Structure 1
Amino acid sequence: MIPYLQAESISKRYGEQMLFEGISFTIFKDQKVALIAKNGAGKTTLMDIIAGIDTPDEGQVTVTNDIKIGYLKQDPELNDNLTVLQEALRSENPALDVIAQFEAAVNHNDQKAIESLTIKMEELGAWDFDVRVKQVLSQLKITDFDQPVRELSGGQRKRLALANVLVNEPDLLLLDEPTNHLDLDMIEWLEAYLEKTNCTLFMVTHDRYFLDRVCNEIIEIDQNQTYDYRGNYSYYLQKRQERIEQEQASTEKARNLLRTEQEWMRRMPKARSHKAKYRIDQFHELKDKASQRRQEDNLELNMASSRLGKKILELEHISKGYGDLKLITDFSYKFSRFEKVGIVGKNGTGKSTFLNVITKAIAPDSGTIDWGQTIQIGYYRQEGINFKPDEKVIDIVKNIAEVIVFEDGQRMTASQLLTRFLFPPEVQYNFVEKLSGGERRRLYLCTILMQNPNFLILDEPTNDLDIMTLNVLEDYLAAFGGCVVIVSHDRYFMDKIVDHLFVFDGNGTIRDFPGNYTIYRNQVEEEEEQKKKQQQAINQAKPAAEKPKKKSPLKMSFNEKREFEQLEQDIAQLEEEKSQLEEALNSGELTPDELTEKSKRFGVLTDELDEKEMRWLELSEKA
């Protein structure tokens, strides 16, 4: 095995906090390695050190033979002055550089440059690169290649950075939470892509299905030490538990032996021989080993929810849309106690609008929403809260309540509650700016649950939370005494919590599916496979005589070719604008005037798109 990267006894401190100390590991060629550690343990800092962006306080990182490293950061830094395609092609790779020059020459209609660059494209085999770059962007639902980077949303920027890293084909690929801002279809595509690629991979992710299917080795940082597991996530869970049990058994054995040695120490005379001195030294070593205690700083979520009455939340014939865009059509549902609902559907089908409607953030066009008298909603939003950087952790909780009283009569001070959420007293007086992304998410979750909700709405709750915290959150939600509605791209999380799904099919249709996400996905795949088989049977059953005769090919004129190419670009841009309009109309953040304006534009856009698609179909007959 060829070692690509070696970390030797590296340590890093952030202010007074020790992130990791004296850790060592090696990444070999063709390995696909995942890094697992608790929030605040320095996972992102370690990734920065490996990428050469940061340096360790002690120790060193050695990269073999100047291998090329590609790094997807949690918050990627992009050039806002470039277009989407230019940013995707930005690279030291000669082929990608020539493609970028060729695209610029085409945009400026520079025929002389086009001719010379065409030769270079053929020499470097860059045509395949060009196609692949656009395919990757399309898979990540970025279709307007000429859109300026500065106009992209946070999620689009992360996906564009991911596309750039993938098409550059680095020797060592570093991915920090790659599934954040990806929908379920994109995650499944990325899984397949990484399984097929030959690159060496080192990543941080909380998505356990993704981790299980992509990685063949896991490195865990635990109690300032590293542990290596040669297998996927399922193997890691088994072997980690065995390791902890062995450590506990070893400590217990040392304690039993220590009792015997303590008795000997008490009975030994003061004038001891050399052998006694040796045994005394062993006694102190044994005492150190026996005193070792495993510090399992697990999140404690055992607060009782508020009591729910018989009536919880009733939706009667709800409809909501914007102009020609239908998001919810005549939907009725009565929530029951203890039920856990997952929400799935493509972007723009109305998931966010639905959450805004049931929480009364926006009004439906028709129908009624009836909350029970006892309902207390806790809404964990994907965007979270914007904490002030100079605000202290303890003050954020105290601003809500100095003392928290739960339904079962349990009372806690703000400090006690924060300790349960893994913010020890020394951290509680730190400024928020010192917290990691996962720690901020945990603090946000604390501010939601401390309000004693009995109807929880969780919009992408798993982003940036570590796997240990997710396991505790899952157990809490499974035993939660109220209702839970979840929107999440984390399939493992959904499967473990929900007992049925609201499936948003588009055009206002919402289906109630009895089962979790994996059951739903398997059924969809079976239905698609069945349709393919039926179509194949129909095609094979047709007599040869009934098959339509092939028409003599019609050739496009030069002008029609140019029109055909322009139509493809126009359709892609219009579809992207349509998708952005749908997201804006779904957001519930528009003013009435903005709603009217964007609804009108949506109607005009739909007509224009239909017209261009019809013309494209006509010309495609000649292609």
Structure 2
Amino acid sequence: MPPLVVGERIAQSFPSGTVLSDVTIGVGDGDRIGVVGRNGDGKSTLLRILAKRLEPDSGRVTWRRDLRVGVVEQDDVLDPGLTAIGSVVGDRPEHEWASDPAVRDVLSGLMGDVDHHAEVGTLSGGQRRRVALARTLVRRWDLLILDEPTNHLDLEGVTWLADHVRRRSEALLVVTHDRWFLDEVCTLTWEVHDARVDAYEGGYAAYVLQRVERDRQAAASEERRQNLMRKELAWLRRGAPARTSKPKFRIDAANELIEREPPVRDSVSLSKLATARLGKDVVDILDVSVSYDDRPVLRDVEWRIGPGDRVGILGPNGAGKSTLLGLVTGEVTATSGRVKRGKTVKISALTQHLADLDAVADDRVSEVVGRRRTSYETEGKEMTPGQLLERLGFTSAQLSTPVRDLSGGQKRRLQLMLILLDEPNVLILDEPTNDMDTDMLAAIEDLLDTWPGTLLVVSHDRYLLERVTDHQFAVLDSHLRHLPGGVDEYLRLRAAQPAAAAEAPAKPAASVSQRGGQNERQLKKDVIRMERQIERLTERIADLDRAMVDASSQPSRLMELDAERRPLAEELEATEEAWLEASAELES
């Protein structure tokens, strides 16, 4: 069967430069393609050309006959006079769309907090974006083209969208900076760079490995960039079995790279440095409650933040995450309880807003930097502000650019650099991934790996949270809850909330002792049994991995070993999930 879409010898230039040159590319039936690359390198341009929404300077795009293409662009325009539900379902009568399970699934997944009868013009930017996404997803297509679909979605929304897209039968072409989403839904990756498009098999993790191999084989001169991607690869391969089992790449090559790469963070050294800079006391939130107009936002919060802690904070919008951070910074006063701060604590926050750059909007980047510190220390080495800017993706030419003319992503990076030059010892990042491409996110994560302070991160970007933090907490039902099982545990708790809320009358959760000694003893036995099983499975899988490396030149033997390893990895993942649930029940 012929491809759905073929772009032949496409070229496209703008006043700022050439973004595509002599590109030939195609999308086939069932392809799930993620598009990555630096901001401004032509990702969205490529999508618009293939969707026939932009005529290229040269070359042509051919669609299969009667092809149905659904497109969601970043700036989709909706009629402000239409209702939200009217924008999504059009003129279909209510009894028709309301009885369609596919439509109900999209509406509940994307528009749960949207008044269906409100006019689009009265909705927030994020709500309008989700209405535009829902309008496309309620229909069936042959090819679905999505440009940054995860923007304005919270963690649960991104998880829902990934699951929804996996269940659809259309071919997919998607641009997103959400690396977890890329790994979940994509089987191919296109990298747009230097006016060309390179194709890789697999999602983000496989792309990282193949890109490292490409750079290594070509003896690329960008040594710093190669080292960064190797560190990224090492973290990916050391992660959860679900992540590492998906990419189809040479195991011996991956293991060879990882063996030479040290751990992502030297936790012991960073902890010593953090303690030296902060002392033993950072911020203790002791039995704190916060209410606004007699409405409880936080209740009975007990949280001791130590030197060098790296914490991710989860929770639905409006749950109280900003209030919690306000307690840390001192901007929020506790209604009851008390907050203790160490004498040497110096807190800085990277917020979602860029207003703090307004005062220097007319200044050039070099002037703003020149008024700050002359050096920044990382990994025991001193860097000049210019070197730090280069590490954050600025070119020498951009140093003479006025701050007001920077892109959103460049402003965020400048904002982060100015904060780091102030040398805080507690850093708060509130949705730091906005306007960032995947390369720049990796660079910032690499910089944070060597930052010796206490780090608090609020983000809907699951990959970032798992990458830069060691512990996760959630604000749920006005309480702060530790998540031993990380993001997966948070999603399970959130999924269980509607069912729990439907029960009446509500009853306080019973403690382990109230559930009875027999049940507690059985839980403890189950936990110990599963821990032994996890240890046994982990050792067996490690033995098989070593055997696969030794058998790298024997394809038939490799297939036998892989067939033996796959069910063990699935059993390990299931056992770990059960262990987390049992452990959480014991702690509750």
TM-score calculated relative to the size of structure 1: 0.65
Specify the alignment match of 1:513 in structure 2.
Answer: 483
Counterpart CA distance in 2 for 1:396 and 1:152 is 39
Specify the alignment match of 1:366 in structure 2.
Answer: 336
1:452-498 alpha-carbon deviations (Å, 9 max, x no partner): 22211112222332222222322333332101111122222222222
1:399 Cα shift? Answer: 7.1
Q: What residue ranges of structure 1 are gaps of 5+ in the alignment? A: 90-95, 104-117, 249-291, 530-623
1:393 Cα shift? Answer: 7.6
Counterpart CA distance in 1 for 2:177 and 2:304 is 33
| Higher relative contact order (CA closer than 8 Å, sequence separation 6+) | 1
Counterpart CA distance in 1 for 2:322 and 2:216 is 45
Q: Which amino acid aligns with 1:73?
A: E
Specify the alignment match of 1:161 in structure 2.
Answer: 132
1:145 Cα shift? Answer: 0.7
Counterpart CA distance in 1 for 2:17 and 2:402 is 13
One of 283, 293, 309 as aligned partner of 1:323:
293
Q: Larger radius of gyration, structure 1 or 2?
A: 1
Secondary structure, in 3 states, of the residue corresponding to 1:78? coil
Counterpart CA distance in 1 for 2:366 and 2:71 is 34
Secondary structure, in 3 states, of the residue corresponding to 1:398? helix
Specify the alignment match of 2:108 in structure 1.
Answer: 138
Specify the alignment match of 1:481 in structure 2.
Answer: 452
1:415 Cα shift? Answer: 4.4
Q: Check conservation: 1:229, 1:236, Cα contact below 8 A.
A: yes
Q: Is the aligned partner of 1:27 residue 2:30?
A: no
Q: Is the aligned partner of 1:201 residue 2:172?
A: yes
Counterpart CA distance in 2 for 1:203 and 1:310 is 46
Q: Check conservation: 2:375, 2:382, Cα contact below 8 A.
A: yes
Specify the alignment match of 1:43 in structure 2.
Answer: 43
Q: Which amino acid aligns with 1:18?
A: T
1:3 Cα shift? Answer: 1.4
Q: Is the aligned partner of 1:187 residue 2:158?
A: yes
1:422 Cα shift? Answer: 1.6
Q: Check conservation: 1:494, 1:516, Cα contact below 8 A.
A: no
One of 478, 491, 495 as aligned partner of 2:466:
495
Specify the alignment match of 2:284 in structure 1.
Answer: 314
Specify the alignment match of 1:344 in structure 2.
Answer: 314
Counterpart CA distance in 1 for 2:40 and 2:143 is 25
Q: Check conservation: 1:8, 1:60, Cα contact below 8 A.
A: yes
One of 359, 363, 371 as aligned partner of 1:401:
371
Q: Which amino acid aligns with 1:354?
A: L
Counterpart CA distance in 2 for 1:185 and 1:488 is 12
1:410 Cα shift? Answer: 7.5
1:507-532 alpha-carbon deviations (Å, 9 max, x no partner): x2112234532465579889999xxx
Counterpart CA distance in 1 for 2:53 and 2:358 is 27
1:289-347 alpha-carbon deviations (Å, 9 max, x no partner): xxx74586689999999932332222222211223532211213221111111111222
Specify the alignment match of 1:376 in structure 2.
Answer: 346
Alignment of 1:424-443 (within 5 A): 424-430=395-401, 435-443=406-414
How many residues are paired up?
A: 455
One of 396, 412, 419 as aligned partner of 1:448:
419
Counterpart CA distance in 1 for 2:153 and 2:335 is 30
1:196 Cα shift? Answer: 0.9
Specify the alignment match of 1:220 in structure 2.
Answer: 191
Counterpart CA distance in 2 for 1:163 and 1:377 is 40
Specify the alignment match of 1:242 in structure 2.
Answer: 213
Counterpart CA distance in 2 for 1:425 and 1:458 is 27
Alignment of 1:457-468 (within 5 A): 457-468=428-439
1:18 Cα shift? Answer: 3.3
Counterpart CA distance in 1 for 2:465 and 2:40 is 25
1:527-556 alpha-carbon deviations (Å, 9 max, x no partner): 999xxxxxxxxxxxxxxxxxxxxxxxxxxx
Specify the alignment match of 1:68 in structure 2.
Answer: 68
1:182 Cα shift? Answer: 1.4
Q: Is the aligned partner of 1:58 residue 2:44?
A: no
Q: Check conservation: 1:454, 1:481, Cα contact below 8 A.
A: yes
Specify the alignment match of 2:17 in structure 1.
Answer: 17
Counterpart CA distance in 2 for 1:406 and 1:367 is 38
1:384 Cα shift? Answer: 4.0
Q: Check conservation: 2:373, 2:421, Cα contact below 8 A.
A: no
Q: Check conservation: 1:36, 1:204, Cα contact below 8 A.
A: yes
1:13 Cα shift? Answer: 3.2
Alignment of 1:261-340 (within 5 A): 293-294=221-222, 307-340=277-310
Specify the alignment match of 1:560 in structure 2.
Answer: none
Q: Give the stretch that moved more between structures: 163-172 or 13-22.
A: 13-22
1:218 Cα shift? Answer: 0.8
Alpha carbons of structure 1 residues 42 and 295: separation in structure 2 relative to 1, 3 Å: farther
Secondary structure, in 3 states, of the residue corresponding to 1:319? strand
Alpha carbons of structure 1 residues 346 and 397: separation in structure 2 relative to 1, 3 Å: farther
Alpha carbons of structure 1 residues 503 and 371: separation in structure 2 relative to 1, 3 Å: same
Alignment of 1:528-607 (within 5 A): none
Counterpart CA distance in 1 for 2:443 and 2:114 is 39
Q: Is the aligned partner of 1:147 residue 2:118?
A: yes
Counterpart CA distance in 1 for 2:331 and 2:370 is 21
Q: Is the aligned partner of 1:77 residue 2:47?
A: no
1:32 Cα shift? Answer: 1.0
Specify the alignment match of 2:87 in structure 1.
Answer: 87
One of 159, 182, 193 as aligned partner of 1:211:
182
Q: Check conservation: 1:194, 1:214, Cα contact below 8 A.
A: yes
Alpha carbons of structure 1 residues 397 and 199: separation in structure 2 relative to 1, 3 Å: farther
1:389 Cα shift? Answer: 13
Secondary structure, in 3 states, of the residue corresponding to 1:334? strand
1:91-132 alpha-carbon deviations (Å, 9 max, x no partner): xxxxx43x1xx45xxxxxxxxxxxxxx8xx6xxxx6644x64
Counterpart CA distance in 1 for 2:150 and 2:498 is 25
Counterpart CA distance in 1 for 2:495 and 2:191 is 35
